[in-house]
Structure formats: C-alpha cells, structure tokens
Amino acid sequence: MRRVGSLIVAAALAAGLFTYTNRAQAEGHAGRRAVDKVPAVYPELAKRNRIRGVVKVEVVVRENGTVKSTKVLGGSPLLINSAADAVRKWKFEPASQETTEVVQIEFAE
C-alpha cells in the first residue's frame, strides 16, 4: 500500500512544468498531418529516475485542425500528463470532417 501512495505522489509532482523537452512524433492512423507540434515537457521526477518511454494518445481533431479532446491510451503515469497537455496544443491540417488520430510522444534523454 505504501508503494501505491508513493506512486500517486510521484505522479502528482510530475504534473508540474519542467524544462527538459522530449521528441514527439505522430503515428498517422487517419493520415491527418500535425502542422504545429508543441513539445511535451519531460517531468523532472521522471528524468531523475531515468523513466523513459512512449505515451500513446488518441486525439479527436475538429475540421479546422484544432484538438477537440484527448484520451491517453497508454504510457508511464509519470509521463502521461505532460504528453496529453502538449498534444492538446497541437494543430493539424484542416479537413472536411472531424477525425480521430493516434499520436505517440516519446520521452528519452
């Protein structure tokens, strides 16, 4: 039980803003290209503990290319908030209808 509490505290700390940025890359399921990718901030706690990995995020994109909603599909609890926050700021190319994309944000030093 103590370990679960520590993970919850660690995840809460990781939600803050830190200075290290990651590499981000879109996985084009529906073929809609991201034209403006805001990089995710590498949480300091995750960086200190050498936690690396990929966060997968499902993104609903409006016709005009702005993000309507996001849903995390997987990834380290220490990294998911930063990845989702960044993807919410992305801009995609316009399309004739709303689409759903899946993107991957990779955290590595």
| Domain total of the chain | 1
What is the domain extent for residue 6? 2-107
Rounded to the nearest 10 degrees, what angle do helices 80-87 and 2-14 cross at?
30
DSSP label at residue 39: P
Predicted structure pTM score: 0.70
Position 17 scores a pLDDT of 31
What is the band of 31 on the pLDDT scale with cuts at 50, 70, 90?
confident
59-98: pLDDT as tens digits = 999 999 999 999 999 999 999 999 999 999 999 999 999 9
What is the band of 109 on the pLDDT scale with cuts at 50, 70, 90?
confident
* CATH at 56: 3.30.2420.10
Collapse the DSSP code of 62 into the 3-class scheme (helix H, G, I; strand E, B; otherwise coil) and give the result.
Answer: coil
- Residue 55's closest CA among 103, 91, 109? 103
CA distance 79 to 51: 9
What lies within 8 Å, CB to CB, of 99 at 6+ separation is: 30, 32, 60, 61, 92
